[in-house]
Structure 1
Amino acid sequence: ATLNDPHKENDTYLARKRQSDDMTVLLQKLKISISKKFNDDLKDRTIYYQALIHRLVAENFIKQPSAEHVIVAHLDFDKLNNKKSNLKWMTKEENYLHQRLSPFVIASKSYSDGRRKEDAKSTKLSVTKVMLLKKLLNESNPMRKLVKQFKVTATQILRIKRGENWPEVEAAP
């Protein structure tokens, strides 16, 4: 067969046409399956519109002091207690201060405060290592040496030096 053989050109054209048609059919099948799957997903989804009961109670039974009072807070921190006597309109600042008194926030804070223990396995640095690192930083040791010695990044060491990380730990004597 020569390069200008009309049969070969025709065969090549037909092969490409067949391949193109096959790709078109595959794409159409893919589009159909995707749209079917999407429609099935939409049918399976249930959208719940929940009214915030505490907000409904506050809007209907408690006078809103001003337009700035946009948050309805539970005074006893119990989200299920939606009685009028337990709800209060608050500004964002008032709500922030109120939430700091929440027993859940206090418990979470005490948990996170107690996380830095000498035997903590989740951190590369322990309290004693940080004390030593701070001592070496005060002695003007090269950063590269400290990075290799403690196997932490230079950024971490800089943050410790500036007091952003581990501020509660003092340098070793």
Structure 2
Amino acid sequence: MKSPKPIKFLKGEKVSVLPWKKTPKGHRYAITNHGRTISYTDDVKTGRLLKSANLGGYPGISFRIGDENRSINIHRLVAQEFVKQPSKKHKKVIHLNFKKDDNHYKNLKWVTVEQQFEHDKKNPNYASRGGNFKLNADKVREIKTSLQKGKFTLRQIAKKYKVSDMQIYRIRTGENWSHIKI
């Protein structure tokens, strides 16, 4: 059997071995600060580079450990291993240049949910939405005020604003429009 070719590491590329258990076949995993993932058995240098899967628009890896299937976004792995997380409130990882496939550690940053929302508003890849929507920030404030007062049922509020009961429920629970405060 021919020996595997060693991986050619890029200039300044650092490797971090991921702390998971071995797979049943003895595979281990590592991530580089450039966002490349490696599967290996004995030595990272003789492992193989993994191709990424598309996980919700982001490059990720899928693998099996024991009876469990796992899928993880590569940018989160890189951030966990190479980017300092300022506090526990900083739970989200953003791409500073808005390119989802650029997982270099210098392009990633830990942010709060609010900071992520502000960052997403600046994303040039998404055109600003037009004005033909049923709800806007002012209407959502009115809905939240109505919900707080409790005078109307979800169905009555939904009918008034011509949206579904589920939309009103999601506004009430904070699943939708959580950034709008009253």
Q: TM-score range by the shorter chain?
A: 0.3 to 0.5
Q: TM-score, structure 2 length as denominator?
A: 0.40
Higher CA-based Rg: 1
Larger fraction in strand: 2
Query: Relative to total residues, which structure has the larger helix share, 1 or 2?
Result: 1
TM-score between both structures, scaled by the size of structure 1: 0.42
